Amino acid sequence: KRLSKLDSCFQRKLGISTAVTKTDTCNKKDEIEPKDGLKSFHSVQEERIEQAERSVLISCPSKTNENNFLKYLSRHGDINKCFFYESYGTYAVVEFVHKESLASLHQGTAIPTINHEATVPFKSRLLTLRQTGSVEMSSGKSGPLCQPQITIPMKDLILRLSNENSVDQQISSLTEMYQLTEENVCLRFLVCSLLKDIAAAYFPECKIRLFGSSVNGFGKLGCDLDMFLDLDSISGRNLKKLKAGFSLEYQTKRSVSERAVTQSILSVIGECVDQFGPGCVGVQKILQARCPLVRFAHQPSGFQCDLTANNRVAMKSTELLYLYGGLDWRVRCLVFSVRCWARSHSITSSIPGAWISNFSLTVMVLFFLQRRSVPILPTLDYLNKLAGPLDKCVIDGNDCTFVSDMTKIQVQDNTETLEQLLQEFFEFYGTFAFNRMSINIRKGQEQNKSDTSPLHIQNPFDTTLNVSKNVNVTQLERFVAVCRESAWMLQQQEFNAPRTNGDGTRAPWGLAALISPSASQVAKVKSRRAKKREPASERIKSLLESLKNKGKTASV
Ligand code: GTP
Ligand code: MG
């Protein structure tokens, strides 16, 4: 009964659906639904980590014959999955059925001898396939079929979207093209697992977990790899001490603070990644940041990696986003479209700065979906109430508890189309009272701002913090101006239906028009004009307003 309110596509996947009508517009939904369905975040993580531990990454000659290659490797055990991709050469990800096969594989693998160079004899699961003697590994003609690991270029995306027949289809197509593929997710977990092998040299029981967009359902092909070194399971702080008799403790090095310990661990592991980690290049230790990290590029996969430690809140917000993304198929579609739109207008950037981050933007979409007259998403307070005893989670004194079992969540019958939602998203934020109000997904309602930051998005797990503290007035104004411009564009006949060029090809329309470079030029001009037109008194009024609010909070 609880499931009956959940998305009908999910139900069908689970084999519990009722009749499917002809008018059902679910044809694209199957491709864009989260691959892991209603499984809890933790069970998906554990499964993927275990898969990755049975896998190896092999650099292959470009014309490797797939069949011969698999035959050769299956001497070590049965193979579950294998795929190829290109990144500075051809690589294969091979997943064995049993972990024991890796021991056999390692036994038959040599450390290379290279003239005039010495090698660090670190035996990892990143290997190179060499052709020796008479064994024919090459296919002679073309190489194996390679799975794409990056998104299509913007120009091609705009063309593809222009060829669709409705804005709804455009939004679904964009999601389909941008979202992480099954292979890309496997590769992400494998790279994380390879890194764990390095960290395990010091902390054998450690876990390295993925967080952020690699696993929250909103990741785009090519997004960075956020990793978190989890040492909590080692600490043994929860071991029960017997009342009488002896007990043993480890002798440990001590430091002044948790932060100092994190810094020293990341420093050593960063050094190790730099000196011993095959394929890891450009290692930077950014230990003075608010959240210390080690940044590097993993060349064989092409991933930009960030390794942090002691970052449990980020893990929790990742789980929350995963949950929200799984509740209704339209959530991910809208987030992908808004993120792509924001990037095309330089509202977001890959470099950190005074602009809105992808994370903030995602929270804004979630909030908007909570604010529909029939809400598409429930509030965090509601998710907190549904939590069971095992979901209890307190981090640094903050209650981060929410339900993990998606099937317990009742969602309401909202039937708005993606086009309506996108249009209304732009209208909602084009007219939002940013000067007075804060965005709060815990309550699902805007609240009076508690400080003077131009954009205030309450951190869901630490209500005293603002997720978008970095955003300045100029960037917020640009966001609002482009929202208004886009809302306007979507209403114009010229842009809201398929249109053709003189030569019969499609011209950018709908979502394609919104993200095409010319649209961003129009928006820039309009926003400059709007700025000129805005009377100084308006700006002063909003400044006074925020000062007044500040005064109020100070006096409370
Ligand atoms: P990409 O741009 O695709 O990498 O999105 P992302 O969600 O992975 O963002 P990013 O790599 O910047 O951050 C990784 C994760 O850290 C996010 O998903 C959040 O869980 C968390 N995070 C990032 N920025 C903030 C922030 O300002 N506040 C809080 N509380 N968490 C953040
Ligand atoms: Mg990220």
Instruction: Enumerate residues 6+ apart whose C-beta is below 8 A from 360.
Output: 455, 457, 467, 468, 471
Answer whether 391's CB lies under 8 Å from 507's CB: no
How far from 132 is each of 129, 135, 136, 137, 275, CA to CA, in Å? 9, 6, 9, 9, 29
C-beta of 459 in contact with ligand 1 (< 6 A): yes
User: How many angstroms separate the CA atoms of 375 and 369, rounded?
Assistant: 6
pLDDT for the residue 21: 32
Instruction: Tell me the two tokens of residue 99.
Output: 């972990």
Phi first, then psi, for residue 225 (nearest 5°) are -110, 105
DSSP-derived letter for residue 146 is B
Answer whether 228's CB lies under 8 Å from 343's CB: no
Amino acid type, 77 = G
C-beta of 383 in contact with ligand 1 (< 6 A): no
Which one of the ligands is nearest to 348 CA?
Answer: 1
Answer whether 206's CB lies under 8 Å from 234's CB: yes
What is the CB neighbour count within 10 angstroms for residue 439? 27
User: How many angstroms separate the CA atoms of 54 and 212, rounded?
Assistant: 24
- Cα-to-centroid distance, 317 and ligand 1 (Å): 8
Ion ligand 2: residue ranges with CB closer than 5 A: 212-213, 224, 226
Instruction: Tell me the two tokens of residue 235.
Output: 């600490």
Strand partners, 398: 395
- Cα-to-centroid distance, 306 and ligand 1 (Å): 11
- Interface predicted TM-score of the whole assembly (ipTM), two decimals: 0.96
User: How many angstroms separate the CA atoms of 188 and 311, rounded?
Assistant: 19
Instruction: Enumerate residues 6+ apart whose C-beta is below 8 A from 323.
Output: 41, 383, 402, 403, 404, 406
pLDDT along the chain (556 residues), means of 10: 36 33 47 69 94 97 90 94 92 96 92 86 93 63 81 93 96 96 96 96 93 96 94 68 78 92 95 96 96 96 95 93 96 98 95 94 98 97 96 94 94 95 98 97 94 95 94 96 95 88 90 83 51 46 45 35
pLDDT for the residue 17: 32
C-beta of 462 in contact with ligand 1 (< 6 A): no
Which one of the ligands is nearest to 339 CA?
Answer: 1
pLDDT for the residue 350: 87
Helix ranges restricted to H, 74-112: 100-107
pLDDT for the residue 413: 93
Counting Cβ atoms within 10 Å, is residue 183 exposed (0-12), middle (13-18) or buried (19+)?
Answer: middle
pLDDT for the residue 115: 83
Instruction: Enumerate residues 6+ apart whose C-beta is below 8 A from 104.
Output: 75, 76, 77
Checking 8-15 for CB contacts under 8 A at 24+ apart, the result is 9/33, 9/329, 10/37, 10/38, 13/37, 14/38
Closest by CA position to 297, among listed 282, 307, 309, 285: 282
pLDDT for the residue 210: 97
C-beta of 357 in contact with ligand 1 (< 6 A): yes
C-beta of 314 in contact with ligand 1 (< 6 A): yes
pLDDT for the residue 24: 39
Closest by CA position to 460, among listed 391, 533, 531, 384: 384
Strands 293-298, 280-286: parallel, antiparallel or unpaired by DSSP? antiparallel
pLDDT for the residue 149: 84
Among protein residues, the one with the nearest Cα to ligand 1's atom 26 is 467
Q: Tell the residue number behind the tokens 């109020």, with chain if given.
A: 552
Closest by CA position to 232, among listed 298, 319, 321, 316: 316
Strands 437-438, 398-399: parallel, antiparallel or unpaired by DSSP? unpaired
Among protein residues, the one with the nearest Cα to ligand 1's atom 5 is 213
Strand ranges inside 469-519, DSSP E: 499-500, 506-507
Helix ranges restricted to H, 165-297: 167-178, 182-199, 232-235, 258-276
Strands 225-230, 207-211: parallel, antiparallel or unpaired by DSSP? antiparallel
C-beta of 226 in contact with ligand 1 (< 6 A): yes
- Cα-to-centroid distance, 215 and ligand 2 (Å): 9
Answer whether 43's CB lies under 8 Å from 37's CB: no
Answer whether 404's CB lies under 8 Å from 323's CB: yes
Taking every pair of C-alpha atoms in the chain, what is the biggest distance, in angstroms?
A: 90
C-beta of 79 in contact with ligand 1 (< 6 A): no
- pLDDT tens for residues 158-202? 999 999 999 999 999 999 999 999 999 999 999 999 999 999 999
- Cα-to-centroid distance, 301 and ligand 2 (Å): 16
How far from 97 is each of 54, 80, 182, 267, CA to CA, in Å? 7, 5, 17, 35
Q: How far is CA 60 from the centre of its chain?
A: 29
Q: Which atom of ligand 1 is nearest to the CA of 219?
A: 3
Q: Does the global pTM surpass 0.90?
A: no
pLDDT for the residue 401: 97
C-beta of 311 in contact with ligand 1 (< 6 A): no
C-beta of 224 in contact with ligand 1 (< 6 A): yes
Answer whether 497's CB lies under 8 Å from 509's CB: yes
DSSP-derived letter for residue 547 is H
